[in-house]
Amino acid sequence: MTNSIAEIENNDALFVIGSNTTECHPIVALRMKKAARKGAKLIIADPRRIPLVKFATLWLRHRPGTDVALMNSIMHVILAEGLEDKNFIDSRTEGFEEFRKAIAQFTPEYGEKITGVPAADIVKAARTYAGAKNAGIYYTMGITQHSMGTNNVWSVANMALLTGNLGKESAGVNPLRGQNNVQGASDMACAPAVLPGYQKVADEAVRKKFEAVWGGALPAEPGLTATEMTDAIIGGRIKGLYIMGENPVISDPHMAHTLKALKKLDFLVVQDIFMTETAELADVVLPASSFAEKDGTFTNTERRVQRVRKAVDSPGDAKDDLSIIRAVAARAGYDLGPASAADVFREISALWPAMAGMTYRRLDSGGLQWPCPTDDHPGTPYLFKDVFPRGKGAFSPIPYIESKELPDEAYPFVLTTGRILFQYHTGTMTRRSDALEAVAPEPFIEISREDARRLGIADAGMLSVSSRRGSLQVKAMVTDRVAPGVVFMPFHYHEAAANVLTNDALDPVCKIPEAKVCAVRIEKTAEVAAGV
Amino acid sequence: MSKEILVNVCMGTGGIAAGGVEVMEAFKAGFADAGMDASVEKHCAVHQVGCRGFCARDVLVDVAIDGNRATYQYIKPDMVPRIIEEHVKGGAPIAEWMVGDDYHSFHDRQVKVVLSDCGRINPEDIDEYISVDGYKAAARVLNEMSPADTVEAVKKSGLRGRGGAGFPTGVKWGFCAANKSDRKYIICNADEGDPGAFMDRSVIEGNPHAVIEGMTIGAYAIGADTGYVYIRAEYPLAVERLKKALADARAHGFLGQDIHGSGFNFDIKIKLGAGAFVCGEETALIASIEGERGMPRAKPPFPANKGLWGKPTVINNVETLANLPYIFRRGPEWFASLGSEKSKGTKVFALTGKIKNTGLIEVPMGIPLKEIIYDIGGGIEGDRLFKAVQTGGPSGGCITAEHIDLPVDYENLVKIGSMMGSGGMVVLDETDCMVNIAKFFLEFTQAESCGKCVPCRIGTKRLLEILTRITEGNGRPGDIELLLSLANDVKDASLCGLGMSAPNPVLSTIRYFRHEYEAHIHDKRCPAAVCRALITFMILDDKCKGCGVCLRACPAGAITGEKKKPHSIDRAKCVKCGACFDVCKFKAVLKE
Amino acid sequence: MINLTIDGKTISVSDGATVLEAARAAGIEIPTLCHDPRLKPYGGCRLCIVEIAGVPRPVTSCTTPATDGMTVTTSSERLFNLRRTVVELLLSDHPNDCMVCERAGDCSLQELAYFYGLRENRFWGERRRYPKQDMNPVIKRDMEKCVLCGKCVRVCDEVQGVGAIDLAYRGFGAKVCPPFEKDLDCEFCGQCVSICPTGALSGRMWAGKGRQKDVKETETVCPYCGCGCVLTLHTAGNRVIRVSSKVDTPNEGWLCPKGRFGYEFINRPDRLTTPLVRREKGGALEPASWDEALDLVAARLGAIKDAHGPDALGGLASARCTNEENYAFQKFFRAGIGTNNVDHCARY
Longest dimension (CA), chain A: 72
Q: In the prediction, which pLDDT does A146 show?
A: 87
CATH T-level topology, domain C2-75: Ubiquitin-like (UB roll) (3.10.20)
The answer to whether position B341 is within a domain reads no
Q: Chain C: nearest CA to A197, how far in angstroms? A: 11
Cα angle vertex C311, ends C307, C313, to 5°? Answer: 80
* Mutate: best of C244, C271, C294, partner A, most A CBs <10 A: C271
Region A412-432: mean pLDDT is 92
**Is 90 exceeded by the pLDDT of residue A466?**
yes
**Is 50 exceeded by the pLDDT of residue A198?**
yes
Residues in chain C with CB shorter than 8 Å from the CB of A180 are 221-226, 228, 319-320
Burial class (CB in 10 A: 0-12, 13-18, 19+), A307: buried
Burial class (CB in 10 A: 0-12, 13-18, 19+), B81: middle
The answer to whether position B110 is within a domain reads no
Q: Do residue C170 and residue B276 have CB atoms under 8 angstroms apart?
A: yes
Question: Does the N-terminal peptide bond of residue C58 adopt cis geometry, omega within 30 degrees of 0?
Answer: no
Q: Chain C: nearest CA to B46, how far in angstroms? A: 46
Q: What is the CATH number of the domain that holds B391?
A: 3.10.20.600
Longest dimension (CA), chain B: 87
The answer to whether position B115 is within a domain reads no
Kindly report the backbone phi and psi dihedral angles of residue A470, in degrees, each rounded to the nearest multiple of 5, phi listed first: 175, 180
Domain boundaries along the sequence of chain C: 2-75, 210-269, 272-308, 309-348
Same-domain status, B424 and B465:
no
Same-domain status, B157 and B306:
yes
* Cα separation, C28 vs C14, whole angstroms: 17
Q: In the prediction, which pLDDT does B1 show?
A: 44
Q: B588: helix, coil or strand?
A: coil
Q: What is the CATH number of the domain that holds B291?
A: 3.40.50.11540
Region A437-456: mean pLDDT is 95
pLDDT tens-digit profile of B89-137?
Answer: 888 888 888 887 777 777 778 888 999 888 788 899 999 999 999 999 9
Cα angle vertex B470, ends B468, B473, to 5°? Answer: 110
Same-domain status, B509 and B547:
no
The answer to whether position B164 is within a domain reads yes
Q: In the prediction, which pLDDT does B37 show?
A: 44
Higher pLDDT, A531 or B252: B252
Q: Do B and C touch (≥3 CB pairs < 8 Å)?
A: yes
Cα angle vertex B151, ends B146, B152, to 5°? Answer: 95
CATH architecture entry for A178-223+315-374: 3-Layer(aba) Sandwich (3.40)
Q: Do residue C93 and residue B458 have CB atoms under 8 angstroms apart?
A: yes
Residues in chain C with CB shorter than 8 Å from the CB of B452 are 42, 44, 148, 150, 167, 174
Q: Chain A: nearest CA to C234, how far in angstroms? A: 8
Q: Do residue A284 and residue C278 have CB atoms under 8 angstroms apart?
A: yes
Domain boundaries along the sequence of chain A: 5-176, 178-223+315-374, 413-529
| Contact present, B467 and B435 (Cβ < 8 Å) | yes
* Mutate: best of C205, C231, C291, C344, partner A, most A CBs <10 A: C344
CB atoms within 10 A of CB A216: 11
Q: In the prediction, which pLDDT does A529 show?
A: 57
Pick the residue from chain A with its C-alpha nearest to C246. Answer: A366
Q: In the prediction, which pLDDT does B46 show?
A: 61
Q: For chain B, which ranges sit under pLDDT 70?
A: 1-2, 37-53
* Cα separation, B149 vs B201, whole angstroms: 31
Beta bridge partners of C50: C59
Residues in chain A with CB shorter than 8 Å from the CB of C280 are none
| Direct distance between the N- and C-terminal alpha carbons of chain C, in angstroms, rounded to an integer | 51
Those residues whose C-beta lies under 8 Å from the C-beta of residue B144, and which sit 6 or more positions away, are none
Q: A528: helix, coil or strand?
A: helix
Domain count, chain B: 5
Q: For chain C, which ranges sit under pLDDT 50?
A: none
Alpha carbon A342 to chain centroid, angstroms: 29
Of B447, B449, B462, the CB nearest to C125: B462
Residues in chain C with CB shorter than 8 Å from the CB of B481 are none
Q: Which domain holds residue B484?
A: 434-522
Closest C-alpha to A186, from A197, A175, A178: A197
CATH T-level topology, domain A5-176: Dimethylsulfoxide Reductase; domain 2 (3.40.228)
Q: Which CATH number fits domain A413-529: 2.70.98.10, 2.40.40.20, 3.40.50.300, 3.40.30.10?
A: 2.40.40.20
Q: Do residue B301 and residue C65 have CB atoms under 8 angstroms apart?
A: yes
* Cα separation, A263 vs C180, whole angstroms: 54
The answer to whether residue B308 neighbours chain C at the CB level (below 8 Å) is: no
Q: Do residue C85 and residue B489 have CB atoms under 8 angstroms apart?
A: yes
* Mutate: best of C49, C170, C176, C198, partner B, most B CBs <10 A: C170
Q: Do residue A282 and residue C285 have CB atoms under 8 angstroms apart?
A: yes
Amino acid at B374: Y
pLDDT tens-digit profile of B215-225?
Answer: 999 999 999 99
**Is 90 exceeded by the pLDDT of residue A103?**
yes
Same-domain status, B32 and B150:
no
CATH T-level topology, domain C210-269: N-terminal domain of TfIIb (2.20.25)
Among B308, B336, B364, the domain boundary falls at B336
Q: In the prediction, which pLDDT does A388 show?
A: 85
Closest C-alpha to C203, from C106, C102, C131, C98: C102
Pick the residue from chain C with its C-alpha nearest to B300. Answer: C64
Closest C-alpha to C245, from C265, C279, C222: C222
Q: Kindly report the pTM of this predicted structure.
A: 0.90
Pick the residue from chain A with its C-alpha nearest to C218. Answer: A311
Q: Chain C: nearest CA to B275, how far in angstroms? A: 12
Find the helix packing angle between A341-351 and C323-331, rounded to 10°: 70
In this prediction the ipTM stands at 0.92
**Is 90 exceeded by the pLDDT of residue A155?**
yes
Q: Chain B: nearest CA to C139, how far in angstroms? A: 23
Q: Do residue B454 and residue C150 have CB atoms under 8 angstroms apart?
A: no
The answer to whether position B423 is within a domain reads yes
Residues in chain B with CB shorter than 8 Å from the CB of C60 are 298, 495
Same-domain status, B150 and B224:
yes
Cα angle vertex A141, ends A137, A147, to 5°? Answer: 110
The answer to whether residue B263 neighbours chain C at the CB level (below 8 Å) is: no
